[in-house]
Amino acid sequence: MYMNTAGRKAKGRKLQQTTRDLIRETFINELEPDDVQSIGMGQQGMDIQLSPAAQKLFPFAIECKNQEKVNVMNAIEQAISNTKKGMIPAVVFKKNGIKPWITIPFDVFMEIIGKVK
């Protein structure tokens, strides 16, 4: 089924807002709502804008992809190109009927696992 441009943008915006909301909920006691923002569709840079306070708690440069067929490597390259110094590129992606997933560098994943074991 073909989806028009407005439909694709709405689908992408919904994933950005879901991602923003999950970050806000996770850090509800440490951050204000305006510390984590979803940027408008078509704007340059990270899909989720983080204040300096938010970047200290959540150092990920998020690229969101809500598509049935995601080219993961292209999304990773886009995340890398939008990553500011001191942040970690990450891709949040999903398709219809599937919960969101995240792709991060393997060494970062192992560092996280090391802290929780």
Tell me the pLDDT of the chain (117 aa) as tens digits.
566 767 777 777 899 999 999 999 999 999 999 999 998 766 777 899 999 999 999 999 999 999 989 999 999 999 999 999 999 999 999 999 999 999 999 999 999 999 887
The DSSP call for residue 41 is T
Domain assignment of residue 95, given as a range: 5-116
- CATH code of the domain covering residue 11: 3.40.1350
Give one word for 42, left, alpha or beta, with left for phi > 0 and alpha for psi -120 to 50: left
Q: How many residues does the chain have?
A: 117
Domain total for the chain? 1
How far apart, in whole angstroms, are the C-alpha atoms of residue 109 and residue 34?
Answer: 27
